[in-house]
Amino acid sequence: MKQSIAHVALVVRDYDEALDFFVGMLGFDLVEDTYQPEQDKRWVVVRPKGSDGVSVLLARASKPEQEAFIGNQAGGRVFLFLQTDDFWRDYNAMVAKGITFVRDPKAAPYGTVAVFEDLYGNYWDLVEFSDGR
């Protein structure tokens, strides 16, 4: 048997503002943006440029219970990990675009890492692994 995770859902306030951040600021590719009239929602999928792995489903909160989790999907922990093949290239580009880093870059036993927040406040690691992961 072979299985894999296809998408990770990220609860967002608004599709277009989320696209502005993920595509415009982070440089992700827009994989799909399809309106689903039967549910009055969009199926919006983005993926880091050059990746063919897991993608992020930008899922607009549709109920007050869901709205409470926008920006806090992991209880204040790092939620997602953006792997890069050149940490300093991507870190400097992200800083230049105004992305907020909440933890400065550091060398760790597994590689170079810094924590940034997305437009809603979810924490992400920007990481370049050096240990073969």
At the second CATH level, the architecture of 72-133 is Roll (3.10)
- What pTM was estimated for this model as a whole? 0.93
> 113 pairs with which residues across the strands?
106, 127
**Mean pLDDT score of the chain:** 96
> pLDDT tens digit string along 13-48?
999 999 999 999 999 999 999 999 999 999 999 999
Could you please report the per-residue DSSP string of 66-97? HHTTTT-TTTTSEEEEEE-S-HHHHHHHHHHT
Q: Find the Cα–Cα–Cα–Cα dihedral 60, 65, 70, 71, rounded to 10°.
A: -160
Superfamily assignment of 1-70 in CATH?
A: 2,3-Dihydroxybiphenyl 1,2-Dioxygenase, domain 1 (3.10.180.10)
Q: pLDDT exceeding 90 applies to what percent of the chain?
A: 98
pLDDT bracket for residue 131 (50, 70, 90) = confident
Given a cut of 80, is residue 113 above it in pLDDT? yes
Locate CATH 3.10.180.10 in the chain.
1-70, 72-133
